[in-house]
Amino acid sequence: MTGPVGTVPHPPRAWRLLPSGGYAGRAHLLLERSATASRRSWLVFLSGFFEPVFYLLAMGQGLGSLVGELPGPDGAPIGYAAFIAPGLLAASAMNGAVFDSTFNVFFKLKYAKLYDAMLATPLGAVDVALGEIGWALVRGGLYAVGFLLVMAGFGLLGTPWALLALPAALLVALAFAAVGMAATSFMRSWQDFDLVTLVTVPMFLFSTTFYPLSVYPGWLQVVVECLPLYHAVELMRGLTTGAVSLALLGHVAYFLVMAVLGGAVAARRLEALLLR
Amino acid sequence: MAGEADRATGRVPGPWGGVALVVENHWEWYRRNWRATAVSTVVQPLLFVLAFGVGFGALVRGSGQVAAATGGVDYLVWIAPGLLAMSAVQTGAFDSTYPVLSGFKWQRTYTAMTAGPITPGQVALGHLGWLAVKTAGAGLVCAAVIALLGGVAGPGILLAVLVSVLTGAAVAAPITAYSATLETEGASFPAIFRFVVIPMTLFSGTFFPVDRLPELVRPLVGVSPLWHGTELARAAALGGPWPPWPAVLGHVAYLLALLGVGTVLAVRTFTRRLAR
Amino acid sequence: MADGLVQARGLTKRFGRVEAVRGIDLDVGRGEVFGFLGPNGAGKSSAMRMIACVSPRSAGDLQVLGMDPDRDGPAIRSRIGVVPQLDNLDLELSVRQNLHLYGRYFGLSRSAVRAKAVELLEFARLTERAEDEVEPLSGGMKRRLTIARALVNDPELLLLDEPTTGLDPQARHLVWERLYRLKREGVTQIITTHYMDEAEQLCDRLVVMDGGVIVAEGAPHELIGRYSTREVLELRFEPEHRPSGDVLSGVLAGRVERVEELPDRLLVYTADGEAAQAAVTAAGHRPLAALVRRSSLEDVFLRLTGRTLVD
């Protein structure tokens, strides 16, 4: 018999704060795993890109024919497709991140028992969490690039600020993934995932994705303004239409706070999530 | 001591009696677990009614472009039958994917049913029959809520619910047949939703008349069962104007043909899988 | 025990108020095949998960490969191999990719993993199926793949939780043969099982667990010698003609050590089964069936706990 060939990982110093054995500095291997798995189911991977594109084609042209133009973020009128496209970009960032951090994580955890297999290796719970969130970002980032190219093709991007929509989409996805992961740690069965649908679908429909805030009565406007997707939509709309103001930093701050809070809860619950 | 033949208490049900037993079985399960699906079958369509019928409807109220598209009817009244049909299709499609696979693979309820006198064909018919019952119930609840919101023009909405049930079943049958052939864990389902179901819901005249679609796409609309269902449901709900009678017959015939072929295939694939 | 690969003192695992493992002591030496024997719920799997450094201990001391799992979990896990009770293969990957990716988790280079996978596919007799999906493989093939996967880092210690549960006899024998090969290569193994034949076949030494504690410890033949008789006479009767254990003990006074009553049969522990059977018949009892066999670990467990192992 030869000696063991597995190498002992040396976690970076900062992670010493976490429960020991939680981080082996190998989160990138989960990306490798997800990329390999995606290559085997490339059609499903590709389909994620088309969902917002179908919405843009149908709603932009179809509903647009009923609406004409709408006031943009700075009051200047813009076409309906230009109005909803950034909303769809934001919603797609949310939906992808939430799906990956809730349904996907729960399935791999409870049914595929994938994390049990990983945690029997030198990998720790933090590697798993970072790897899964990282993959959600890689995938979301690719979809966002694709969607921005489609927007450019339709002439819906007329400003260099639109380049910032990509990092903005990543930030939005990160915040939703962190909160989603934290929420998943409290899930007990599939029935609980109805709550996820119950949160994401209304947000998708009502966060000024399809029409401006002014449609709502005053009290409802305040409620909508609290929703995270509203801030994502406004952020994207400001960047893709070039109506950039300091207010956009407020939206960015919203997601930074959300990512930190979600991440803190997820980190604290990670042991409960992955180790029994 | 009684003879062997007298001892067993099981009886063979009649051909439709077996189907009814399968429907009853689904109902018993549903009674205990209805909350699990109430969100997707009732709450979600109502959210779409609120978002598009009420919210978007408020945005475009009084505009000439809308009157031209809806024939002068209020947008909420116009979209309501379309959303009923769309919701039936979504429920029919979803419930014919993972739940069917689960009956064969995960929970094996179909295997358990056919261990007795019930035949695989009866299980397939019972599944579709149950879906019809469920979409009818959900459709009636939704129609009642839409009526409260002022979106119902007359008793024709009941006929629209019936058409929705037919449309949902016509989509469900071939998907059920396909699901019964899968040996995988259902990895291809997301691609079906995104490449078939979602485009169908967006390009079938639910949200806007199909003549607003690009010339290129319009010929494809005739393939969509949801378009045929929406044309009928909308004419029924608004009390007209009906398309010329050959067109009406064509819509009905298309849906019945799809349902018929799908059902035959489903019975065949169920039999092949369960009786092997 | 300086050479001990696993050393536990008062090892305890609590889940809320339930104590799954209640203070056990263990010493597993290098090259040894060590068994945990016990019924479902005895605490075997919990003990294994603590040794595998995936479940923190609630109390007691534990050293694996001379290190503390609480502090050196990743270092320990990089040198052991784990075969869990239920196969948790990656169904989204092919057979070969399962071995590749798993090896990468151990920090092995891509080229090292590629070479190792070829060797392990051969070991698991899956070379032909290397590019296939995992899902359609038979239960025995999946089990062999899981075992092969656990060997990707050439572990010093292999943990196997119920390695052959749910396999058909042929598949079980193939797994046993592979495990025996590993033993000859000097790989230390810890195995949990509730199969007596498996424990007797594979283990050099074992502990019998019940209710979270160790009730006996030793080599299989030692335990049989210590807690059972040479032979066992199994008797089945028509329910209405079945004599009680006490009646049989009376009939066989002096000839038997003890009589166990099970729901479907009586077990007579004796040095000479044939003679005991003759005595029962001579006393006018007419069993439907009688069988004389050698004692097994099943009898040890029955003696120690008063219960059968697989209910």
pLDDT exceeds cutoff 90 at A235:
yes
pLDDT confidence band for C1 (50 / 70 / 90): very low
pLDDT at B3: 53
pLDDT for residue B88: 97
Beta-strand pair C266-270/C256-261: antiparallel
Least confident of B31-35, C46-50, C195-199, C284-288: B31-35
Range picked from B103-107, B244-248, C247-251 for highest mean pLDDT:
B244-248
Hey, which chains touch C, using 3+ CB pairs under 8 Å? A, B
Tell me, yes or no, whether C59 lies in a domain. Answer: yes
Q: Which chains touch B (3 or more CB pairs under 8 A)?
A: A, C
Most confident option among A24-38, C21-35, C72-86: C21-35
Helix, strand or coil for residue C267? strand
Q: Judge if C234 and C170 occupy the same domain.
A: no
Measured CA to CA, the distance from residue C111 to residue C105 in angstroms comes to 14
Which pLDDT belongs to residue C3?
Answer: 64
> Which tokens hold the place of C302?
């029955």
Q: Is the pLDDT of residue B80 over 90?
A: yes
**pLDDT for residue A276 is more than 80:** no
Q: Is residue B61 part of a domain?
A: yes
Distance from the A210 Cα atom to the nearest Cα atom in chain B, whole angstroms: 8
Question: Nearest by CB to A8, which of C54, C74, C185?
Answer: C74
Mean pLDDT over B55-72 rounds to: 87
Which residues in chain A touch residue B52, judged by CB atoms under 8 angstroms apart? 205, 210
Residue A223 has pLDDT above 70, yes or no: yes
Residue A75 reports pLDDT greater than 90: no
pLDDT per residue as tens digits for the range A76-106: 899 999 999 999 999 999 999 999 999 889 8
Residue A15's pLDDT is: 44
Of B126, B227, B209, B212, the C-alpha closest to B171 is B227
DSSP structure class, residue B176: H
At which residue do the structure tokens 């994580």 appear?
A: A105
What pLDDT, on the 0 to 100 scale, is given for residue C168? 85
| Choice among B168-172, C131-135, C216-220, C247-251 with the minimum mean pLDDT | C247-251
Mean pLDDT of C261-290: 88
Q: What is the DSSP letter of C156?
A: S
C176: contact with A, CB 8 A cutoff: no
Residues C277 and C128 in one domain: no
C-alpha span between C160 and A131 (Å, rounded): 28
Is B276's Cβ below 8 Å from some Cβ in A? no
Note the pLDDT tens digit of each residue in B233-264.
999 999 988 999 999 999 999 999 999 999 99
User: Do C147 and C257 fall into the same domain?
Assistant: no
C-alpha span between C266 and C261 (Å, rounded): 5
So what's the pLDDT on residue C121? Answer: 95
Q: Do B195 and A47 touch (CB under 8 A)?
A: yes
Q: Which of C158-196 are b and which e, b meaning 16 or more Cβ less than 10 Å from the residue's Cβ? A: bbbbbbbbebeeebbebbbebbeebbeeebbbbbbbbbb
Report how far Cα B6 is from the mean position of its chain's Cα atoms.
44
Tokens found for residue A39 = 């290559």
State the DSSP string of B212-270: GS-TTTHHHHTT-HHHHHHHHHHHHHHT-PPPPHHHHHHHHHHHHHHHHHHHHHHHHHH
C105 inside 8 A of chain A by CB: yes
How large a percentage of chain C has pLDDT more than 90? 52
Question: Is B6 a member of any domain?
Answer: no
**Is the CB of C89 inside 8 Å of chain A's CB atoms?**
yes
Q: Check which CATH number belongs to the domain holding C135 and give it.
A: 3.40.50.300
The pLDDT score that the predictor gives to residue A270 is 77
- Residue B118's contacts (CB-CB under 8 Å, 6 or more residues apart) are B13, B18, B21, B22
- Give CA–CA dist A218/A166, Å, rounded: 32
CB of A77 within 8 Å of a chain C CB? The answer is no
Cα separation, A56 vs C152, whole angstroms: 48
Residue C309 lies in a domain: no
| Banded pLDDT at A17 (limits 50, 70, 90) | very low
Q: How many CB atoms lie within 10 A of CB A242?
A: 16
Longest dimension (CA), chain C: 75
In the stretch 110-139 of chain C, residues with CB closer than 8 A to chain A read 112
* Distance (Å) from the alpha carbon of B222 to chain C's nearest alpha carbon: 37
CB proximity C91 to B under 8 Å = yes
Structure tokens given for A188: 């007990």
Beta partners for A70? A78
User: What counts of helices (H) and strands (E) characterise chain A?
Assistant: 12, 2
Classify residue B58 as left (phi > 0), alpha (psi -120 to 50) or beta.
Answer: alpha
Report which of B24, B25, B26 is spatially closest to residue B37, judged by C-alpha positions.
B26
Could you tell me the end-to-end alpha-carbon distance of chain C, in angstroms, rounded to an integer? 37
Interchain pair C54, A29: CB under 8 A: no
Query: Which residues in chain A touch residue C79, judged by CB atoms under 8 angstroms apart?
Result: 4, 6
Q: How far apart are CA A29 and CA B51, in angstroms?
A: 42
Could you tell me the pLDDT band of residue B217, with boundaries at 50, 70 and 90?
Answer: confident
Contacting residues of C for B183, CB less than 8 Å apart: 135-136
Q: Which residues of chain B make contact with C136, given a CB cutoff of 8 A?
A: 183
For chain C, how many structural domains are there in total? 2
Cis check for the bond before B241: say yes or no (omega within 30 of 0): yes
**Same domain, yes or no: C114 and C162:** yes
CB pairs under 8 A between A and B: 99
How much is the average pLDDT of C156-185? 90
> Do residue C135 and residue B187 have CB atoms under 8 angstroms apart?
no
List the single residue in A44, A62, A191 with the smallest CB-CB distance to B207.
A62
Amino acid at C228: S
Q: Which residues of C touch A12 (CB under 8 A)?
A: none
Asked if C42 and C60 count as a contact pair (C-beta separation under 8 A), the reply is: no
Q: Which other chains touch chain A, taking contact as 3+ CB pairs less than 8 Å apart?
A: B, C
Asked if B213 and A206 come within 8 Å (Cβ–Cβ), the reply is no
This complex has an ipTM of 0.90
**pLDDT tier at C201, thresholds 50, 70, 90:** confident
Phi, psi of A14 (to 5 degrees): -55, -30
What is the domain range of residue B149?
14-274
Could you tell me the residue range of the domain that residue C275 belongs to? 229-294
Mean pLDDT of chain B: 91
pLDDT at residue number A260: 94
B5 inside domain: no
Contacts of C135 in chain B (CB under 8 A): 183-185
Question: How far apart are the CA of A215 and the nearest CA of chain B, in angstroms?
Answer: 6
Choose the final residue of a domain: C190, C209, C224: C224
Closest-approach residue (CA) in chain B for A201: B44
Percent of chain B with pLDDT over 70: 97
Give how far the C-alpha of residue B97 lies from the chain's centroid of Cα atoms, to the nearest Å. Answer: 13
**C41 in contact with chain A, both atoms CB, cutoff 8 A:** no
Angle between helices A247-274 and A228-241 (to 10 degrees): 130
- pLDDT tens by residue, B17-58: 889 888 888 888 888 777 767 888 899 999 999 999 999 999
In a domain, C89, yes or no: yes
Q: Quick check: C78 and A276 CB within 8 A?
A: no
pLDDT score recorded for residue B28: 85
Give residue A3's pLDDT: 44
Structure tokens at C169: 């006899």
Which pLDDT does position A20 carry in this prediction? 47
Domain boundaries in chain A?
23-274
Say yes or no for a CB contact (<8 Å) between A65 and B65.
Answer: yes
Of B39, B48, B59, the CB nearest to A205: B48
pLDDT band at C303 (very low <50, low <70, confident <90, very high): confident
User: Model confidence over A125-181: pLDDT tens digits?
Assistant: 888 889 999 999 999 999 999 999 999 999 999 899 999 999 999 999 999 999 999
C91–B185 C-beta distance less than 8 A: yes
Interface of C with A in 8-37 (CB under 8 A): 15
Q: Is the pLDDT of residue C19 over 80?
A: yes
Task: Check CB contact of B173 with chain A, cutoff 8 Å.
Answer: no
pLDDT of B185 reads 79
- Decide if pLDDT at A16 tops 50: no
Q: Is the pLDDT of residue C32 over 50?
A: yes
Q: Given a cut of 90, is residue C155 above it in pLDDT?
A: yes
pLDDT reported for residue C310: 58
pLDDT at C203 over 90: yes
Are C103 and C206 contained in the same domain? yes
Closest CB to C112: pick one of A5, A9, A275.
Answer: A5
Residue C304 inside a domain? The answer is no
Nearest to C158 by CA among C123, C197, C127: C123
Number of domains in chain B: 1
- Looking at CA atoms only, how far is residue A12 from chain C in angstroms? 14
Residue B60 at interface with chain A, using a CB cutoff of 8 Å = yes
- Nearest Cα residue in chain C from A117: C88
Q: Hey, is A132 helix, strand or coil? A: helix
- Whether A254 shows a pLDDT value over 80: the answer reads yes
- Give the chain B residue whose CA is nearest to the CA of C134: B184
Inform me whether the C-beta atom of residue A42 falls under 8 Å from chain C C-beta atoms: no
In whole numbers, what is the pLDDT of chain C averaged over residues? 89
Residue C41 has pLDDT above 90, yes or no: no
The structure tokens 């795993």 sit at: A33
Based on the domain organization, do C216 and C269 belong to the same domain?
A: no
How far C117 CA sits from the closest chain B CA (Å)? Answer: 25
Q: How far is A41 from chain B (nearest CA, A)?
A: 8
Mean pLDDT of the region B142-151 = 95
Q: Of C238, C253, C223, which is closest to residue C285 (Cα–Cα)?
A: C238
pLDDT over 90 at C246, yes or no = no
Share of chain A above pLDDT 70, in %: 91
Q: In the predicted model, what is the mean pLDDT of residues A171-198?
A: 89
Cβ–Cβ below 8 Å for A66 and B33: no
* Residues B231, B235, B237: CA angle, nearest 5 degrees: 115
For residue C188, give the 3-state DSSP assignment: strand
Q: Is residue B139 part of a domain?
A: yes
B143 has a pLDDT exceeding 70 = yes
